[in-house]
């Protein structure tokens, strides 16, 4: 019945809203010009295509004809995909968090025609509910205020802009980063570690792999066994819980409870990428093959379900899908949960009973705290008896259930390809392939990197952020350049193809030119971005690592690989700029703590010569996060020279000679 301007967009999220009765415009000049010419506030709605509460607000409010009419009459409604433009999203998320104390998606923000925010929140129900004001009520109040108190709103928006600008400014503070910050970060994570269920803090629990990568590096540097134990207990608990897909591999977004049991069921590429890296590093550090099994299962899920035929990786799978037991109705997790009768229908009564013992299933369902009734009578699979789950009969049952599940309606696939998330996945595949002895993974990483070079890189070396359906668009952001440079570095370290070293150096130099600040640190967007209220320097290592953390690591590693020492200077200035944050809030920046450890560690090098494949494999079995690998002439007798700083050991000619040097 309705079609709006979003029908011409490529973003899956924007296309989901193309038939709303709301007269949506995409974020851009046309929307801004309309707001100025009609002197109306902008209603900016930000989300992403696999966002559960975005779907809820669409059904309740944006498909409501009456609400849509009011919204169209009094506002200029604008939709933005936060995954395409995280730089815009971050500006307005900062405002909402500062004014309400919380944030999330959908993000709902009202702006003056010159894009300054003056009111905002997240999800609003259509009518007052759960202590939240109704969306229609808010629209009416804001429309009235704009008519009657416009000057006060404009003045207030100017003050808010100044306050946010002051809050987000990050420059050198005179504080120097030091090893004290590393110890302080560990102690803070130690205090919030959950010794019962693993992870950090209470519900909801997010995987946040940057924390685990920091703890593993802290263990490597200090020998602290507790850091390794906290990491291991967290990884084991996550793998056992309902947050893990025990049939198909891969992790859901987060757990709504403290024991990793009831997940928010969407699957994000950036989670898979970082968790592959975390499990591989834990395998290298602890030698426990269970970590390698999990890493392989995640990779197989990504290669099976998240890979474009030309090699790039898709962004996400939705939490919601059509419920096979309730035709015509979508439900969160419907693709993944099981009624007892479904288990018996697929496996037979006896096999279903045994499978249920292994995976915690109950005849009446195993979700006892379910306020919205989504999982009534259903079972979320979790690893109740690991020893039983290893039985070949249970493995056969998992395969049967996986095949039966494949016949259900699948969740929506967000098939856009993002440079930064692909960079993270390429790094994970390259490292997993080398550490686990899986050349197939390295080849998948090389293929994906070729896709980026072919489809997202311009002739002058600039990166574009998003590719979908044959179209590349949106100027690349800091994290696109930094993550892609790290992908090139990891491909070099796993394949020793010199072309990847050249690509990494080219990317980091472009990154410094486009985003660098002489005062220290990197802006998220380039100076050419004319639609931003602020250029921000992102520093929070949350679900995704911040662009600044990735940039420091990419600069240091590229300098050490290529010998281009001047690249260390912007890395040093960035660490100085963020030293104040590292000192006051080290737990907010775990990936930057990793970058600081890399930056300050003595340069560690291993130089291979000759037919040294066995020596290379031995090195990759170890967790050596501060080491740069070189492999020169591959003919002749094998050797490996291990160096730290200016000290080099005599070359080792065999695995037995090499092992004692890798401590």
Question: What ranges do the domains of the chain cover?
Answer: 5-168, 179-318+414-600, 336-407, 604-661
Name the residue among 477, 539, 429 with its Cα closest to residue 173.
Answer: 539
Name the residue among 236, 303, 223 with its Cα closest to residue 269.
Answer: 303
Contact 10, 21 (CB under 8 A): no
Contact 34, 77 (CB under 8 A): no
| Domain covering 179-318+414-600, topology | Glycosyltransferase (1.50.10)
Counting Cα atoms < 13 Å in the Cβ hemisphere of 624 gives 25
Q: Which residues of the chain have pLDDT under 50?
A: none
Structure tokens at 98: 């500062």
- H-type helices in 460-567, by residue range? 478-495, 498-515, 547-562
Long-range contacts of 255-259 (CB under 8 A, 24+ apart): 255/203, 255/204, 255/205, 255/206, 256/203, 256/204, 257/203, 257/204, 257/205, 257/369, 258/194, 258/197, 258/199, 258/202, 258/203, 258/205, 259/196, 259/197
Q: Are strands 76-81 and 25-26 parallel, antiparallel or unpaired?
A: parallel
Structure tokens at 215: 């703890």
Specify the pTM: 0.96
Name the residue among 368, 369, 382, 381 with its Cα closest to residue 339.
Answer: 381
Q: How far apart are CA 180 and CA 586, in angstroms?
A: 10
Q: How far apart are CA 27 and CA 50, in angstroms?
A: 19
Q: Rounded to the nearest 5 degrees, what angle is found at the Cα of 137, between the Cα atoms of 133 and 142? A: 105
Say which residue the tokens 């007052």 belong to.
128
User: pLDDT value at position 175?
Assistant: 67
Q: How many CB atoms lie within 10 A of CB 63?
A: 16
Contacts of 73 (CB under 8 A, 6+ apart): none
5-168 placed in CATH 3.30.420.40: no
Q: How far apart are CA 55 and CA 617, in angstroms?
A: 47
Q: How far apart are CA 541 and CA 552, in angstroms?
A: 13
Maximum alpha-carbon separation in the chain: 84
User: pLDDT value at position 523?
Assistant: 97
User: pLDDT value at position 163?
Assistant: 87
Q: How far apart are CA 96 and CA 537, in angstroms?
A: 18
Q: How far apart are CA 58 and CA 297, in angstroms?
A: 35
Q: Is the peptide bond before 204 cis (omega within 30 degrees of 0)?
A: yes
């Amino acid at each position: 019945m309705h079609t709006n301007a979003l029908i011409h967009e490529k973003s899956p999220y924007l296309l989901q809203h193309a038939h709303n009765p709301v007269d949506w415009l995409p974020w851009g000049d046309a929307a801004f010009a309309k707001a100025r010419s009609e002197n109306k506030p902008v209603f900016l709605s930000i989300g992403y295509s696999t966002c559960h509460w975005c779907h809820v607000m669409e059904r309740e409010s944006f498909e409501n004809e009456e609400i849509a009419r009011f919204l169209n009459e009094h506002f200029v409604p604008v939709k933005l995909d936060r995954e395409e433009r995280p730089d815009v999203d971050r500006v307005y998320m900062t405002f909402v968090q500062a004014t309400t104390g919380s944030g999330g998606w959908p993000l709902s923000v009202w702006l003056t025609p010159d894009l300054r925010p003056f009111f905002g929140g997240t999800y609003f129900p259509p009518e007052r509910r759960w202590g939240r004001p109704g969306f229609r009520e808010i629209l009416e109040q804001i429309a009235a205020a704009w008519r009657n108190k416009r000057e006060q709103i404009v003045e207030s928006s100017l003050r808010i802009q100044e306050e946010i600008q002051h809050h987000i400014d990050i420059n050198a503070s005179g504080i120097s980063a030091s090893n004290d910050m590393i110890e302080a970060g560990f102690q803070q994570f130690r205090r919030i570690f959950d010794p019962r269920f693993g992870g950090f803090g209470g519900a909801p629990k997010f995987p946040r792999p940057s924390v685990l990568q920091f703890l593993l590096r802290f263990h490597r540097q200090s020998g602290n066994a507790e850091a390794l134990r906290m990491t291991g207990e967290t990884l084991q608990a996550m793998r056992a819980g309902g947050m893990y897909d025990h049939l198909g591999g891969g992790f859901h977004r987060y757990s709504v409870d403290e024991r990793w049991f009831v997940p928010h069921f969407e699957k994000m590429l950036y989670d898979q990428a970082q968790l592959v890296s975390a499990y591989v590093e834990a395998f290298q550090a602890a030698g426990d093959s269970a970590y390698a099994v999990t890493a392989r299962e995640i990779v197989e899920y990504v290669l099976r379900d998240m890979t474009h035929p030309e090699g790039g990786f898709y962004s996400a799978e939705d939490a919601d899908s059509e419920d096979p037991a309730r035709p015509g109705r979508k439900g969160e997790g419907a693709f993944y949960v099981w009624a007892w009768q479904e288990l018996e229908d697929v496996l037979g009564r006896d096999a279903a009973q045994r499978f249920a013992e292994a995976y915690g299933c109950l005849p009446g369902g195993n979700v006892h705290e379910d306020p919205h009734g989504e999982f009534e009578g259903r079972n979320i699979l979790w690893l109740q008896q690991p020893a039983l789950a290893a039985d070949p009969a249970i493995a056969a049952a998992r395969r049967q259930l996986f095949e039966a599940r494949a016949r259900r309606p699948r969740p929506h696939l967000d098939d856009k390809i993002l440079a930064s998330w692909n960079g993270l996945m390429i790094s994970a595949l390259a490292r997993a392939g080398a550490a686990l002895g899986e050349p197939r993974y390295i080849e998948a990483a090389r293929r994906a990197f070729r896709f980026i070079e072919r489809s997202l890189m311009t002739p002058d070396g600039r990166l574009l952020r998003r590719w979908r359906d044959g179209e590349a668009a949106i100027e690349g952001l800091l994290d696109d350049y930094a993550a892609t440079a790290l992908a090139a570095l990891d491909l070099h370290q796993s394949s020793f193809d010199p072309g990847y070293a050249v690509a990494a150096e080219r990317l980091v130099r472009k990154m410094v030119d486009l985003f660098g600040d002489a005062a220290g640190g990197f802006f998220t967007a380039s100076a050419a971005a004319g639609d931003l209220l602020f250029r921000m320097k992102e520093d929070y290592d949350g679900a995704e690592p911040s662009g600044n953390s990735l940039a420091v690591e990419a600069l240091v590693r590229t300098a050490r690989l290529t010998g281009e020492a001047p690249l260390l200077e912007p890395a040093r200035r960035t660490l100085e700029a963020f030293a104040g944050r590292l000192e006051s809030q080290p737990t907010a920046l775990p990936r930057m703590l990793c970058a600081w450890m890399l930056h300050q560690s003595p340069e560690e090098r291993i130089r291979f010569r000759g037919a040294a494949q066995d020596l290379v494999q031995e090195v990759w079995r170890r967790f050596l996060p501060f080491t740069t690998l070189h492999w020169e002439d591959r003919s002749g007798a094998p050797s490996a020279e291990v160096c730290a700083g200016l000290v080099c050991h005599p070359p080792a000619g065999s695995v037995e000679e090499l092992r004692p040097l890798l401590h």
